């Protein structure tokens, strides 16, 4: 694991370490949060499980987008494929996770191989749109799968079974699944870290920087790009398998282009080409989506109180009318995104200080 | 006479109506410095692009070490020992100067499907990289991002990368362009030292350098070789003077 | 003093927000009519936005159940959002879910749950009612056109269940981004049917009807609809809706007392007519109220609560109804038509009963008795 | 005409110019010389407003132009042949030239498209080619032609002969001589010291962001030691 | 036979409608090189402006004419506040920032106009069908779309390829520094071009509005379609976008018209009925994938 954390001597390293510790220990201090009335234990864990799983998907996207310069606008398709693999197997009574997961990963890798082989001939926006096109094709296949619910989706009755190791009911199930997701995330981060700093990663990043030059140096750039594309697809398929288990439900919406868009937003928001950027991005994006309205309501209540104390209550309308404004929280979310782009170049990650070059 | 390393046989490349390479034939012998000169737009860079695999010729054959490489992709040619530098600087701008040459070294060693060991900590890449920078006089900028180098320094890096591939045949497209007089002199010096160890196909408009280095010179005009010969022969060639050299420059 | 907590999930943002707004207004009105209390306990409604996305709906359901620990979750416009959320609420949470709109066949059948109730209908029923009506009119040749997604296909299946004449053509259009229906309109014209049956919810219905008129089909070939014309689309459709019948289990002019009060109060407060989405949401609250009152506010026994709910012992805006074994209503379906009211606003009017005390077709697949 | 003094410029944290100062008189040809990376291009960029200076004055005529946006500076009559060509790759040769055309001082005999084509016949032949489909030398010709098309009061050439064939290079020196004869002020950066000595009036040698020597052509020509120390020739 | 003629006309009309949608995007993305996801939002604003002005003046034509300057103003504001800081940035920064703009735009519209959609009623003279032959009526308004679409195509082509302004826009997109150093005020130029892009987006929105109705988020799905079109045509090529729009319009229409019957010739009726709509949804993506796999820079594109 050494080397995963940027040295603890920098602020950046310390913040990252703190974040990982906080995430890792959540199951143990969640009851305390619950008791303090901050957030219920179950909800905190379910919500953060989702965050962790999507962070895995974002990390995988970052491998090709941040390090390889390949902007896949169809990355959610692997979430979908991973999810459908688990869902369809479960639907036919195959619950064994040791079958489901490798198959989900393998199929995703295969799909990535096919999509990559066709798309990687193109560059820039053409590549973006081609990956989108393939994802949309799969999406419509999902919509057409009437046997598995079409676009209504399919409920998964039982989660993947890992030789009975994971609890299947109640709080234990939630806690266990959180821990599994966290461990997978850490392993994936470690894998990506090794990968991008190894020779393979240097070749990949060089290809992003200047492909022609890399060819002139003797790198068969297509192969590196394709290999990265397949690895990313496989990891994302794993995230899909986890997500299907988490939501116990699959539907084509998992691979809709807007989901691919969300993944891109997470990566860019967090910081592309930085190991932990996508994690920050996923946390920020998903938690903002969840808590921004409540936060706004708090702020509005506070503002209303303050202003009405000064101007008199009647002048500014009822608190209720003000609180309705919180329904328009996406204005705030949009504004935050724009501010991050304009003033935090390099995403959230850059707020903690830029890493040394590379 | 030394054996032929690179053989070009009636190569043709058209861009629309323009024939950029016009049934060109050319030999480069092992160990020689072969200069390619000619007016702007004569098709020198286009030839290099075809030799190195970045452009497909319309017809003709390229043989390297007796092997037909006409259809081989660019990267594969480098692995056979044929590498190029670019006239229009092409470096990895977000990498440091050292990373740039270390990547060249990595490519030379092969083995880039290594997924685990850190490449930046790999001495077998860094040390030869530093040496390459040293050679072109860029060691003091090893840890600066390539984008922040001045134009001339980027030109030096450009050449360093081509050399770090350790090719048997080096295709140099105006290596001296953009370098100051002192740096140019240093480069001439370097190339002179490499002479004999490496075969070189050198494109250059700096005639002092060409006449100082070349064993043989081919003159290209409108995609055709109008003359090939020793520096003395070329200097004396009337057609070459009117098409390309003009009156001798001072300085 | 403990409050009765109700979570209400609907779409409050994006293109479909007008439905959510209508539902929310109706819930607020119901709470108002109850004086803000059930069995003396204050009512607390927590509204959550599903953003028209299944995963978000599911996450919000989790929040309501796990974080807010609500007693009931109501709402749900969309089948896929409901299906995604179902287990979280009814199994994991052991909480009561009352759908105010969506009614996918899976939940009426094999996925039925003691914790699940519906104050709306099962998806097939409304088009079946329309199919019956068209059949009864003696129409022979019908062209079907609908949106290509699960509910859209259900609609056509439902129609075909009761309509026995000839289907001369059937189109499922790209969903949700079809720009233009001219290719389909040309096919309809060429097929020369006696009537067209269509299903397009929301903005797409408006789009379909206006193109139907622009191409000159309106007035030539009669059009029958499900979920195209309602109080939400009427202000946009206006005269386009005249002469285009639809089917529904609730129409704003149903002649019972509670409905008159609901419609009048709603109109007074918001200046527009409520839609069936609103009426079903109102019923959701009233159903809850009936059970809570019967238990005197003591919700500790889930079994008792379910038993009380099952009785449907409340004054529905549709008049009284009973629950089928799968907890879907057994109710009438009406045919509605568009008229102008006294103020010149367009509104809907009941013109006939298509089916009486209709039961959905999936009850036998449900293991509950 | 152009008077630069005390110029200080930095890229982010790293300072490159340390009090750069020089002058170009009306109708004068002046050079900046020095080894790679000494700050010649940065000086030009500061003058053009591309990299605004941190301190110092740049007077054009009697006006301080330091800190103005670059299009305003260009309109005051500065024409630039930038280092590394910088032609527009997605415009044809003809469009590259036409887009730049201007005659802000209403000169009686301005550079026009036909004149540029006459000067560089090669460009006329390639006029429908996209900028990125030109050979390096052709691009360089285009960059020079483009600057001429703006009919500047002061022409700035930053390594304008890089990659040009000897014959063309000679023609360019001849052209500059002719322009000088017509009273055009020119600032040149180039590595062909010999040619520059024949052409320019005065020279400045730049070392680490400041001027370390200045003098006339004969003075420079005479001082072999100086040439060797700073220019490596 | 009449059916085929009619469907061909439908295809042309749909193609031109799609070209209108793509036109502004070709300018802003294809030529200025700014990925503006909020293009769809400007399209939506155009439609809402037009709906309000039409309701206010009781005339669709006047409403439309008023909506265009309003859109210009909006475009200029967006450019000055956000877009101008993005030109020198990565495409992905554009994506994130303009995605933020979409979120803001949708909620802003809901705040101002409420969640209900609008329908723009056409004046009577545009609303009736014209009879091309006694049994072939065709909506008059569709002809208006065809005329406006063709006019926009010609105008853009002229502006971009024939004028100096067009050259500056293209030059500025590839090298802002250098175009500034030639004495051109890129900042102002780009503000105006962005404004023009907004006007084109709004024009598309208000032209489409009577056909597709006005609603929140109406621009979001269209956006993908518009990108598909300019990518098939080749980025930066107006000719390409126009031809791609026509091809897509044609294939989409004819596909929807003929596919079910075609499939029935070798599939069972039931299978054909399920396969046809699925296939027709995929059609444009299949087309795009096919084109790009065959030619990696679209039909007429030069750069990636
Ligand atoms: N964009 C940049 N960012 C950071 N540093 C830069 C940048 N551009 C140039 N420099 C640095 O500024 C110094 C001066 O560069 P400049 O380009 O002015 O040199 P020059 O004298 O023109 O050299 P050359 O003859 O090589 O063109 C160099 O050390 C270079 O590394
Ligand atoms: N992609 C292309 N499309 C069309 N014409 C091209 C293309 N690439 C090069 N050309 C033309 O081919 C000719 C040969 O170009 P090339 O770059 O080989 O010349 P060169 O001999 O290297 O010249 P220089 O000394 O100026 O670098 C030029 O006239 C150029 O305009
Ligand atoms: Mg060349
Ligand atoms: Mg320089």
- Please give the pLDDT value at position A205: 95
Q: Is residue E54 part of a domain?
A: yes
Strand bridging mode C4-10 / C72-75: parallel
- Which residues are within 8 A (CB) of B225 and not within 5 positions of it... i.e. 6 or more apart? B24, B25, B26, B218, B219
Structural tokens at position A152: 């209504």
- Which residues are within 8 A (CB) of A17 and not within 5 positions of it... i.e. 6 or more apart? A5, A8
Question: Are the Cβ atoms of A337 and E235 closer than 8 angstroms?
Answer: no
The CA distance from E293 to A126, in Å, is 10
Strand bridging mode C346-358 / C322-323: unpaired
Residue B251, judged by CB atoms within 10 A of its CB (0-12, 13-18, 19+), counts as middle
The domains of chain B are located at: 4-81+167-250, 94-156
Q: Is residue E300 part of a domain?
A: no
Q: Residues D151-156: what's their mean pLDDT?
A: 94
Q: Give the domain extent around E24.
A: 2-294
Q: For the segment C322-332, what is each residue's pLDDT rounded down to a tens digit?
A: 999 999 999 99
Q: Is the pLDDT of residue C1 over 80?
A: no
Interface of B with D in 55-94 (CB under 8 A): 87-89
The answer to whether A143 contacts chain C (CB < 8 Å) is: yes
Between vectors from CA E47 to CA E41 and to CA E50, what angle results, nearest 5°?
A: 140
- Please give the pLDDT value at position E304: 38
Q: Is the pLDDT of residue B140 over 80?
A: yes
For chain E, list the strands marked E by DSSP: 129-133, 136-139
Q: Residues B172-200: what's their mean pLDDT?
A: 87
Residue C114, judged by CB atoms within 10 A of its CB (0-12, 13-18, 19+), counts as middle
Q: A358 falls in which pLDDT band (50, 70, 90)? A: very low
Q: For the segment D68-99, what is each residue's pLDDT rounded down to a tens digit?
A: 999 999 999 999 999 988 999 999 999 999 99
CATH of the domain at D185: 3.40.50.300
- Ligand 2 atom at minimal distance to the Cα of residue B38: 21
Q: For the segment C50-90, what is each residue's pLDDT rounded down to a tens digit?
A: 998 999 999 999 999 999 999 999 999 999 999 999 999 99
Radius of gyration of chain E measured on its C-alpha atoms? 20
- Please give the pLDDT value at position C366: 94
Q: For the segment D100-151, what is each residue's pLDDT rounded down to a tens digit?
A: 999 888 888 899 999 999 999 999 999 999 999 999 999 999 999 999 999 9
Q: A309 falls in which pLDDT band (50, 70, 90)? A: confident
> Cα separations (Å) of E149 from B87, E201, E240?
45, 12, 15
Q: Is the pLDDT of residue A355 over 70?
A: no
- Ligand 2 atom at minimal distance to the Cα of residue D140: 26
- Shortest CB distance from B180 goes to which of D35, D122, D126? D35
Domain count within chain D: 1
The answer to whether E61 contacts chain D (CB < 8 Å) is: no
Strand bridging mode B33-37 / B216-221: parallel
3-state secondary structure of D107: coil
Using an 8 Å Cβ cutoff, are C155 and C323 in contact? no
At residue A295, φ and ψ (nearest 5 deg) are -60, -45
Q: Cβ contacts (< 8 Å) between D70 and chain E: which residues?
A: 177, 180-181
What is the share, in percent, of chain B residues with pLDDT greater than 90? Answer: 65
Q: Is residue E41 part of a domain?
A: yes
Q: Is the pLDDT of residue B249 over 70?
A: no
Using an 8 Å Cβ cutoff, are A151 and C150 in contact? yes
DSSP state letters, E222-282: HHHHHHHHHHHH-TT-HHHHHHHHHHHHHHHHHHHHHHHHHHHTTS-HHHHHHHHHHHHHH
Give the architecture (CATH level 2) of B4-81+167-250.
3-Layer(aba) Sandwich (3.40)
Q: A313 falls in which pLDDT band (50, 70, 90)? A: low
Residue of chain A whose Cα is closest to the Cα of E279 = A140
- Which residue's CA is the nearest one to ligand 1's atom 9? B150
The CA distance from C343 to C271, in Å, is 11
With b for 16 or more beta-carbon neighbours within 10 A and e for fewer, the A271-308 pattern comes to bbbbbbbbbbbbbbbbebbbebbeebbeebeeebeeeb
Q: For the segment E64-89, what is each residue's pLDDT rounded down to a tens digit?
A: 999 999 999 999 999 999 999 999 89
Q: Residues B63-76: what's their mean pLDDT?
A: 93
Greatest Cα-to-Cα distance within chain C, rounded to the nearest angstrom:
68
Order of strands across the sheet with B224-229? B82-84, B169-173, B199-203, B33-37, B216-221, B224-229
Q: Is the pLDDT of residue C357 over 80?
A: yes
Is B149 a pocket residue for ligand 1 (Cβ < 6 Å)? yes
Neighbours of ion ligand 4 (CB under 5 A): B 151; D 41, 83
Whole-number average pLDDT of chain E:
91
Task: Give the predicted TM-score (pTM) of the model.
Answer: 0.94
Q: Is the pLDDT of residue C167 over 90?
A: yes
Using an 8 Å Cβ cutoff, are D11 and D70 in contact? no
The answer to whether A50 contacts chain C (CB < 8 Å) is: yes
Using an 8 Å Cβ cutoff, are C92 and C85 in contact? no
- Which residue's CA is the nearest one to ligand 1's atom 27? B151
- Which residues are within 8 A (CB) of A94 and not within 5 positions of it... i.e. 6 or more apart? A100
Q: Is the pLDDT of residue A70 over 80?
A: yes
Q: Residues A353-357: what's their mean pLDDT?
A: 54
- Ligand 1 atom at minimal distance to the Cα of residue D191: 25
The CA distance from C79 to C227, in Å, is 14
- Rounded to the nearest angstrom, the distance between the alpha carbon of B219 and the centre of ligand 3 is 13
- Please give the pLDDT value at position E274: 78
Domain count within chain E: 1
DSSP state letters, D18-39: EEEEEEE-TT-EEEEE-STTSS
Closest C-alpha among E182, C155, B250, A80 to residue D217: B250
Q: For the segment D40-53, what is each residue's pLDDT rounded down to a tens digit?
A: 999 999 999 999 99
Q: Is the pLDDT of residue C363 over 70?
A: yes
The enclosing H or E element of D143 equals helix D136-149
Closest C-alpha among E207, E211, E222, E251 to residue E12: E251
Q: Residues E264-269: what's their mean pLDDT?
A: 83
Residue C259, judged by CB atoms within 10 A of its CB (0-12, 13-18, 19+), counts as buried
Go through the domains of chain A in sequence order and give each one's CATH number.
39-290 (1.10.3470)
Q: Is the pLDDT of residue A53 over 80?
A: yes
Q: Give the domain extent around D126.
A: 2-231
At residue E132, φ and ψ (nearest 5 deg) are -70, -45
The answer to whether B147 contacts chain A (CB < 8 Å) is: no
* CA dihedral sign, ordered D208, D214, D216, D218: negative
- Shortest CB distance from E288 goes to which of A133, A140, A269? A133
Beta bridge partners of D10: D15
Strand bridging mode B59-64 / B4-15: antiparallel
Q: Is the pLDDT of residue C102 over 60?
A: yes
Q: A320 falls in which pLDDT band (50, 70, 90)? A: confident
- Please give the pLDDT value at position B248: 53
Q: E302 falls in which pLDDT band (50, 70, 90)? A: low
Q: Is the pLDDT of residue B247 over 90?
A: no
What is the share, in percent, of chain C residues with pLDDT greater than 90? Answer: 84
Q: Residues E166-182: what's their mean pLDDT?
A: 93
- Please give the pLDDT value at position B85: 93
Q: Is the pLDDT of residue A179 over 70?
A: yes
3-state secondary structure of B122: coil
- Please give the pLDDT value at position B250: 37
Interface of E with A in 234-293 (CB under 8 A): 235, 274-275, 278, 281-282, 285-286, 288-289, 292-293
- Which residues are within 8 A (CB) of A28 and not within 5 positions of it... i.e. 6 or more apart? none
- Please give the pLDDT value at position A2: 45
Radius of gyration of chain B measured on its C-alpha atoms? 18
């Amino acid at each position: 694991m050494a080397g995963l954390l940027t040295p603890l001597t920098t602020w950046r390293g310390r913040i990252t370490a703190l974040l990982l510790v906080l995430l890792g220990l959540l199951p143990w201090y969640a009851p305390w949060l619950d008791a303090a009335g901050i957030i219920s234990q179950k909800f905190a864990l379910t919500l953060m499980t989702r965050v962790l799983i999507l962070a895995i998907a974002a990390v995988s996207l970052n491998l090709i987008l941040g390090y390889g310069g390949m902007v896949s606008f169809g990355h959610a398709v692997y979430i979908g494929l991973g999810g459908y693999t688990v869902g369809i197997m479960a639907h036919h009574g195959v619950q064994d996770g040791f079958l489901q997961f490798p198959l989900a990963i393998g199929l995703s890798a295969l799909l990535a191989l096919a999509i990559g082989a066709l798309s990687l001939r193109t560059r820039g926006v053409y590549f973006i749109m081609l990956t989108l096109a393939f994802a949309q094709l799969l999406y419509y296949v999902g919509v057409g799968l009437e046997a598995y619910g079409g676009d209504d989706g399919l409920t998964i009755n039982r989660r993947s079974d890992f030789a009975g190791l994971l609890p299947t009911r109640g709080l234990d199930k939630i806690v266990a699944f959180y821990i599994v997701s966290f461990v997978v995330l850490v392993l994936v981060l470690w894998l990506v870290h090794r990968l991008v700093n190894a020779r393979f990663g240097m070749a990949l990043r060089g290809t992003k920087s200047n492909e022609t030059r890399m060819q002139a140096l003797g790198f068969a750039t297509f192969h590196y790009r394709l290999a990265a594309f397949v690895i990313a697809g496989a990891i994302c398929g794993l995230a899909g398998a986890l997500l299907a288990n988490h939501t116990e439900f699959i539907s084509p919406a998992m691979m809709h282009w807007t989901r691919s868009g969300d993944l891109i937003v997470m990566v860019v928001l967090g910081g592309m080409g930085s190991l932990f950027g996508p994690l920050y991005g996923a946390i920020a994006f998903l938690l903002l989506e969840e808590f921004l309205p409540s936060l706004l309501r708090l702020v509005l209540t506070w503002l209303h109180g303050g202003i009405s104390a000064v101007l008199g209550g009647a002048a500014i309308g009822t608190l209720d009318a003000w609180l309705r404004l919180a329904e328009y929280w996406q204005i705030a979310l949009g504004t935050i995104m724009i501010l991050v782009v304009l003033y935090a170049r390099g995403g959230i990650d850059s707020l903690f200080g830029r890493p040394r070059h590379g | 006479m030394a054996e032929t390393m690179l053989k070009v046989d009636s190569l043709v490349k058209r861009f629309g109506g323009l024939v950029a390479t016009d049934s060109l034939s050319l030999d480069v012998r092992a160990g020689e410095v072969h200069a390619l000169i000619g007016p702007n737009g004569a098709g020198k860079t286009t030839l290099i692009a075809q030799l190195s695999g970045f452009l497909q010729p319309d017809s003709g054959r390229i043989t390297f070490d007796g092997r037909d490489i006409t259809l081989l992709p660019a990267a594969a040619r480098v692995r056979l020992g044929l590498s190029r530098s670019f006239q229009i600087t092409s470096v990895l701008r977000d990498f440091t100067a050292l990373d740039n040459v270390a990547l060249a070294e990595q490519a030379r060693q092969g083995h880039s499907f290594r997924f685990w060991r850190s490449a930046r900590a790999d001495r077998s890449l860094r040390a030869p990289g530093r040496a390459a920078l040293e050679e072109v006089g860029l060691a003091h900028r090893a840890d600066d991002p390539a984008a922040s180098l001045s134009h001339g320094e980027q030109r030096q890096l450009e050449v360093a990368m081509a050399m770090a591939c350790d090719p048997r045949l080096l295709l140099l497209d105006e290596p001296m362009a953009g370098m100051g007089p002192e740096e140019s002199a240093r480069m001439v010096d370097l190339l002179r030292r490499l002479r004999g160890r490496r075969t070189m196909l050198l494109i250059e408009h700096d005639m002092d350098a060409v006449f100082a280095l070349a064993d043989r010179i081919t003159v290209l005009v409108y995609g055709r070789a109008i003359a090939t010969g020793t520096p003395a022969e070329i200097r004396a060639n009337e057609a070459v003077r009117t098409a390309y050299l003009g009156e001798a420059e001072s300085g | 003093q403990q409050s009765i907590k109700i979570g209400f999930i609907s779409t409050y943002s994006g293109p479909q927000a007008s439905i959510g707004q209508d539902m929310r207004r109706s819930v607020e009105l119901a709470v108002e009519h109850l004086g803000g209390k059930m069995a003396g306990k204050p009512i607390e409604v927590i509204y959550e936005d599903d953003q028209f996305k299944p995963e978000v709906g599911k996450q919000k359901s989790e929040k309501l159940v796990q974080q807010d620990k609500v007693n009931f979750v109501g709402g749900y416009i969309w089948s896929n959002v409901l299906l995604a959320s179902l287990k979280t609420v009814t199994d994991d949470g052991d909480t009561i879910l009352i759908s105010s709109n969506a009614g996918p066949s899976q939940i009426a059948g094999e996925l039925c749950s003691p914790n699940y109730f519906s104050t709306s209908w099962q998806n097939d029923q409304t088009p079946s009612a329309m199919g019956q009506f068209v059949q009864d009119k003696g129409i022979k040749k019908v062209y079907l056109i609908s949106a290509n997604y699960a509910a859209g296909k259900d609609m056509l299946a439902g129609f075909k269940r009761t309509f026995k004449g000839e289907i001369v053509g059937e189109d499922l259009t790209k969903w949700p981004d079809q720009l233009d229906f001219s290719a389909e309109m040309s096919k309809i014209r060429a097929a020369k049917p006696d009537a067209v049956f269509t299903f397009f919810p929301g903005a797409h219905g408006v789009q379909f009807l206006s193109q139907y008129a622009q191409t000159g089909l309106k007035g030539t070939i009669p059009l029958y609809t499900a979920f195209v014309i309602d109080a939400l689309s009427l202000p946009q459709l206006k005269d386009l809706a005249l002469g285009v019948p639809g089917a529904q289990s609730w129409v704003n002019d149903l002649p019972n007392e509670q409905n008159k009060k609901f419609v009048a109060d709603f109109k007074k407060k918001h200046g527009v007519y409520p839609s069936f989405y609103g009426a079903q949401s109102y019923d959701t609250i009233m159903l809850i109220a009936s059970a809570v009152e019967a238990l005197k506010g003591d919700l500790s026994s889930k079994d008792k609560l379910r038993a009380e709910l099952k009785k449907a012992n409340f004054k529905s805006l549709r008049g009284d109804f009973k629950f089928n074994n799968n907890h879907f209503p057994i109710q009438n379906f009406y045919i509605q038509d568009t008229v102008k009211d006294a103020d010149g606003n367009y509104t809907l009017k009941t013109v006939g009963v298509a089916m009486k005390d209709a039961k959905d077709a999936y009850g036998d697949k449900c293991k509950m008795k | 005409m152009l008077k630069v003094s005390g110029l200080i410029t930095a890229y982010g944290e790293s300072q490159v110019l340390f009090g750069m100062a020089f002058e170009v008189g009306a109708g004068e040809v002046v050079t900046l010389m020095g080894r790679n990376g000494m700050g010649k291009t940065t000086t030009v960029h500061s003058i053009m407003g591309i990299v605004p200076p941190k301190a110092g004055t740049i007077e054009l005529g009697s006006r301080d132009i330091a800190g103005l946006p670059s299009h305003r500076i260009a309109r005051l009559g500065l024409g630039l042949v930038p280092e590394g060509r910088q032609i527009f790759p997605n415009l044809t040769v003809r469009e590259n030239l036409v887009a730049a055309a201007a005659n802000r001082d209403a000169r009686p005999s301005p550079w026009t498209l036909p004149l540029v084509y006459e000067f560089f016949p090669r460009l006329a032949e390639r006029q429908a080619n996209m900028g990125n489909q030109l050979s390096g030398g052709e691009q360089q010709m285009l960059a020079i032609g483009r600057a001429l098309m703006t009919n500047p009061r002061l022409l700035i050439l930053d390594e304008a002969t890089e990659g040009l064939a000897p014959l063309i290079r000679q023609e360019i020196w001849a052209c500059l001589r002719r322009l000088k004869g017509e009273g055009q002020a020119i600032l040149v950066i180039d590595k062909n010291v010999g040619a520059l000595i024949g052409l320019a009036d005065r020279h400045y040698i730049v070392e680490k962001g400041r001027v370390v020597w200045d003098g006339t052509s004969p003075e420079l020509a005479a001082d072999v030691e100086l040439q060797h120390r700073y220019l490596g020739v | 036979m009449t059916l085929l003629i009619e469907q061909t006309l439908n295809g042309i009309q749909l193609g031109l409608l799609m070209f209108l949608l793509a036109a502004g995007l070709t300018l802003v993305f294809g030529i200025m090189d700014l990925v503006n996801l909020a293009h769809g939002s400007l399209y939506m604003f155009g439609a809402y402006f037009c709906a309000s002005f039409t309701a206010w003046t009781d005339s669709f034509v006047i409403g439309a004419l008023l909506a265009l300057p309003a859109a210009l103003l909006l475009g200029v504001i967006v450019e000055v506040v956000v877009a101008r800081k993005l030109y020198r940035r990565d495409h992905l920064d554009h994506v994130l920032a303009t995605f933020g703009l979409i979120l803001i735009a949708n909620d802003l519209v809901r705040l101002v106009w409420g969640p209900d959609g609008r329908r723009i009623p056409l004046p009577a003279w545009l609303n009736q069908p014209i009879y091309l032959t006694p049994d072939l009526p065709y909506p008059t308004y569709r002809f208006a779309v065809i005329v406006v679409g063709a006019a926009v195509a010609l105008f853009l082509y002229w502006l971009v390829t024939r004028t100096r302004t067009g050259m500056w826009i293209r030059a500025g997109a590839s090298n802002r520094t250098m175009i500034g150093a030639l004495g051109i005020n890129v900042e102002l130029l780009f503000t105006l071009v962005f404004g023009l892009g907004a006007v084109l987006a709004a024009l598309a929105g208000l032209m489409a509005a009577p056909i597709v109705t006005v609603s929140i988020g109406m621009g979001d799905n269209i956006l993908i379609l518009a990108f598909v079109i300019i990518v098939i045509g080749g980025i930066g090529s107006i000719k390409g976008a126009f031809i791609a729009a026509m091809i897509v319009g044609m294939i989409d229409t004819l596909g929807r018209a003929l596919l079910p019957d075609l499939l029935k010739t070798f599939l069972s009726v039931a299978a054909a009925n399920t396969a046809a709509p699925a296939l027709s949804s995929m059609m444009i993506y299949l087309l795009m994938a096919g084109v790009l796999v065959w030619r990696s820079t679209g039909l007429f594109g030069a750069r990636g």
